[in-house]
Structure 1
Amino acid sequence: MWLIYALLSAIFAGLTAILVKVGVSGISANLATAIRTIVVLIMSWMVVFLAGKPDFTSLSKKNITFLILSGLATGASWLTYNRALQLGPASKVIPVDNLSVVIGMVLAFILLRERVTVPIVIGGALITLGVLVISFNK
């Protein structure tokens, strides 16, 4: 089931990039981020309440701390991504942004102590090579 959600995430992320590229045209990238954030905020709370009664008592201090940090990282990512799309071609910005896959893998190895395997290292290297080929050619 995780694979279906991961593939849907990739589809939505790809669609998001194109929609943002068109949406930031002629306006501040920061304003675009704020508008997107409001939409995500409303949509997220709708899903929380439509899925049933949320159990706020299950939140720990650790949950809250790390979710706040994640939210700050997301905000920084969106702000810089929107600006990059405003300034550069989507076909080059999107692959560079997707280096987040490799960065996330490295952080998972270091911080979460996930197992490093040869196929994962090869895959990460190929993703990095692909980004270099796509984004840094003339």
Structure 2
Amino acid sequence: MGNYVLWALLACIAYSFVPPLVRVGTREIPSNVAAFISNFVLIVIIFAVLVYNSESLAPHVTANGAIYLYLAGACLGVGILSYYRALELGPVSIVVPIFAMFIVGGSVIGFVLLDEPVTARKIVGVVLGVVAIYLISV
């Protein structure tokens, strides 16, 4: 198992706690404020990791690839604010599967725009992902 798989599993475990925590938190705190608070904690953690690893931001903020990260940040901002609002208003058991469609969307974008290899197994996986998300959310 590759090192990236362990990181992906850790991300999955950690992120699994986000929706229920946001749902409980937004009972008393507006979703936009909740997004700010949780993402402020995120920024503090990332800053600590950068310092710990002696990584500098300066040479990267104007690098050629930075524009993609700025665009990703804009998409992430819209996505997080929308996700938090949905969790404030609706049940976790329905919001999370709908939100999880980003996995299917990201896979399709990878196939179409990044020329990642498309195999029958991957197509079946994407279709089964859609079916699973549908079954969970209805």
TM-score (norm 1): 0.91
1:39-118 aligned at under 5 Å gives the runs 39-54=41-56, 56-58=58-60, 60-118=62-120
Query: Corresponding residue for 2:10?
Result: 8
Q: Residue 56 of structure 1 aligns to a residue in which SS?
A: coil
Within the candidate set 21, 24, 27, 2:23 is matched to: 21
Cα separation, partners in 2 of 1:119 and 1:62, compared to 1, 3 Å: same
Distance apart, 1:33 and its partner CA: 0.8
Distance apart, 1:25 and its partner CA: 1.0
Q: Residue 57 of structure 1 aligns to a residue in which SS?
A: coil
RMSD: 1.4
Question: Runs ≥4 in structure 1, deviation > 6 angstroms?
Answer: none
- Which whole-Å CA distance do the structure 2 matches of 1:17 and 1:3 have between them? 22
Conserved? CA contact 2:27–2:88, under 8 Å: yes
Conserved? CA contact 2:104–2:130, under 8 Å: yes
Cα separation, partners in 2 of 1:55 and 1:131, compared to 1, 3 Å: closer
Per-residue CA deviations over 1:76-131 (Å, capped at 9, x if unaligned) read 11101111111111011111111110000000011111111111111111110011
Conserved? CA contact 2:60–2:66, under 8 Å: no
Distance apart, 1:64 and its partner CA: 1.9
Distance apart, 1:74 and its partner CA: 1.0
Structure 1 unpaired stretches of 5+: none
Identity of aligned residues (%): 31
- Which whole-Å CA distance do the structure 2 matches of 1:27 and 1:85 have between them? 12
- Which whole-Å CA distance do the structure 2 matches of 1:110 and 1:59 have between them? 27
